[in-house]
């Protein structure tokens, strides 16, 4: 198997990975970024981004990621296609296998593999993804101004997204599979105090309905009574949780019960010295591009310090 020795390997190409690459390349660590299965990360699945500082008139997710990539390359970062399929972090240099066919021996590793939104798994959900089906209200809610939409889920994210959308949309259905919300009391109260949110309790989604222009409705079922009914909506938002993309590392790196990589104190250091984590793979709370970018900066600075000391 082909083998290559590098000083700083960055796994993942979202805002965390590229910000780490900008800092690591400026520190002469000659970083190599492996882009992973979704080059550019989750932002490339959204349209306009209005909350990333520095873009007063907004920026498309793809343009932002392209800019971050160019900025990293400008300072000497090598960016490659490829996905990590196996790692051995039991000794240094760390061994990382790319696509089962190439071995990297890395002095430091920055894991920035992000998280993926969970979907219900319906074929119609796949069909209308990006055409009415979204897993990010703050990214895409704007497109449904004054329209009716639905949010699926009963946790804090679902309640937060529903109240956010209620400020933009005509009406928001909150589709909850049980007769209680999992969300915190404060969040439940916010939902209860928002008149244009209607909670559909004990309800499951059978199918998302639509035409060539996108989503037009959802076919639902009350899982207590068995009653089937439809709602007319233009946007269908998933808020049933995310899963961090940490599986391939979890044999070596400590993760919490949800699979998020645990970092130490204010640093981005994982339980393995010389392996750092940044972005959504280690952040169950904020999950924002700018927060991911910030942690990518810290991870690169931590890696630089580690290399100086070791
Ligand atoms: P959670 O795991 O807390 O909630 C997921 C919700 O989705 C649950 O209500 C669950 O239902 C529902 N669900 C899961 N699978 C399905 C399915 N297949 N069909 C229908 N419904 C489904 O995830 P969140 O993203 O809401 O929150 C993650 C963490 O982040 C939590 O710790 C939360 O507190 C935190 N958070 C905090 C915020 C804040 O404080 N401002 C904001 C956002 C998140 P059920 O209840 O029946 O299991």
Active site residue 283: no
Tens of pLDDT, residue by residue over 226-277, are 999 999 999 999 999 889 999 999 999 999 999 999 999 999 999 999 999 9
Cβ–ligand 1 distance for 13 under 6 Å, the answer no
Q: What's the pTM value of the predicted model, to 2 decimals?
A: 0.76
pLDDT < 50: residue spans in the chain = none
Contact yes or no for 165/237 (Cβ under 8 A): yes
**Three-state SS annotation for the chain:** CEEEEEEEEEECCCHHHHHHHHHHHHCCCCCEEECCCCCCHHHHHCCEECCCCCCCCCEEHHHHHHHHHHHHHHCCCEEECCCEEEEECCCCCEEEEECCCEEEEEEEEEECCCEEECCCCCHHHHHCECCCEECCHHHHHHHHCCCEEEEECCCHHHHHHHHHHHCCCCEEEEECCCCCCCCCHHHHHHHHCCCCEEEECCEEEEEEEEECCEEEEEEEEECCCCCEEEEECCEEEECCCEEECCHHHCCCCCECCCCCECCCCCCCECCCCCEEECHHHHCCCCCCHHHHHHHHHHHHHHHHHHHHHC
Cβ–ligand 1 distance for 161 under 6 Å, the answer no
* Number of neighbouring beta carbons within 10 Å of residue 268: 28
For ligand 1, atom 38: residue with the closest CA: 156
CA distances from 293 to 243, 279, 309 (A): 19, 7, 25
Q: Which of 67, 88, 99, 140 is catalytic?
A: 140
Active site residue 136: yes
For ligand 1, atom 41: residue with the closest CA: 156
| 225 beta partners | none
Ligand 1 pocket test target in 125, 241, 259 with most atoms within 8 Å of CB:
241
Cβ–ligand 1 distance for 160 under 6 Å, the answer yes
Output the pLDDT for position 47.
66
For ligand 1, atom 46: residue with the closest CA: 182
Contact yes or no for 10/21 (Cβ under 8 A): yes
- CA 224 to ligand 1 centroid distance, Å: 21
For ligand 1, atom 5: residue with the closest CA: 240
Cβ–ligand 1 distance for 105 under 6 Å, the answer no
Output the pLDDT for position 46.
66
For ligand 1, atom 9: residue with the closest CA: 154
Contact yes or no for 254/261 (Cβ under 8 A): yes
Q: Which of 8, 136, 159, 169 is catalytic?
A: 136
CA 147 to chain centre: 26
- CA 106 to ligand 1 centroid distance, Å: 36
Output the pLDDT for position 130.
86
Q: What is the CA radius of gyration of the chain?
A: 21
Two structure tokens written together for 287: 């999950």
Query: Which atom, in ligand 1's list, is nearest to the CA of 159?
Result: 26
| 232 beta partners | 217
| 48 beta partners | 60
Q: Which candidate, 246, 256, 307, places its Cα nearest to that of 278?
A: 246
Cβ–ligand 1 distance for 120 under 6 Å, the answer yes
For ligand 1, atom 1: residue with the closest CA: 155
Active site residue 8: no
Output the pLDDT for position 50.
80
Query: Which atom, in ligand 1's list, is nearest to the CA of 242?
Result: 25
């Amino acid at each position: 198997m082909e083998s290559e020795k590098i000083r700083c390997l960055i796994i993942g190409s979202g805002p965390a990975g590229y910000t780490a690459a900008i800092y690591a390349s400026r520190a002469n660590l000659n970083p190599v970024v492996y882009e992973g299965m979704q080059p550019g990360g989750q932002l490339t699945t959204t349209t306009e981004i209005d909350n990333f500082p520095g873009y007063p008139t907004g920026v498309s997710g793809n343009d932002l990621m392209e800019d971050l990539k160019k900025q990293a390359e400008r300072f000497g970062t090598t960016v490659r296609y490829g996905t990590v399929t196996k790692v051995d972090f039991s000794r240094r240099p760390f061994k990382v296998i790319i696509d089962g066919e190439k071995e990297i021996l890395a002095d430091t590793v920055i894991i920035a593999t992000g998280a993926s939104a969970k979907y219900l798994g319906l074929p119609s959900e796949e069909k209308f993804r990006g055409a009415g089906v979204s897993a990010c209200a703050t990214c895409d809610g704007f497109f449904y101004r004054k329209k009716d939409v639905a949010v699926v889920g009963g946790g804090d994210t679902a309640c937060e997204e529903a109240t956010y959308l209620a400020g933009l949309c005509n009406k928001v259905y909150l589709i909850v599979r049980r007769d209680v919300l999992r969300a915190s009391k404060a969040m439940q109260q916010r939902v209860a105090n928002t008149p244009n949110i209607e909670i559909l309790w004990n309800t499951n989604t059978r199918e998302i309905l639509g035409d060539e222009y996108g989503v037009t409705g959802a076919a639902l079922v009350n899982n207590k009574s068995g009653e089937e009914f439809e709602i007319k909506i233009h946007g269908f938002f998933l808020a049933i949780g995310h899963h961090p993309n940490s599986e391939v590392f979890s044999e070596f790196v400590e993760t919490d019960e949800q699979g998020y990589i645990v970092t130490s104190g204010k640093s981005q250091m994982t339980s393995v010295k010389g392996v750092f984590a940044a972005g959504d793979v280690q952040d169950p709370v904020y999950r924002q591009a700018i927060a991911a970018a910030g942690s990518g900066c810290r991870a690169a600075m931590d890696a630089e310090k580690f290399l100086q000391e070791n």
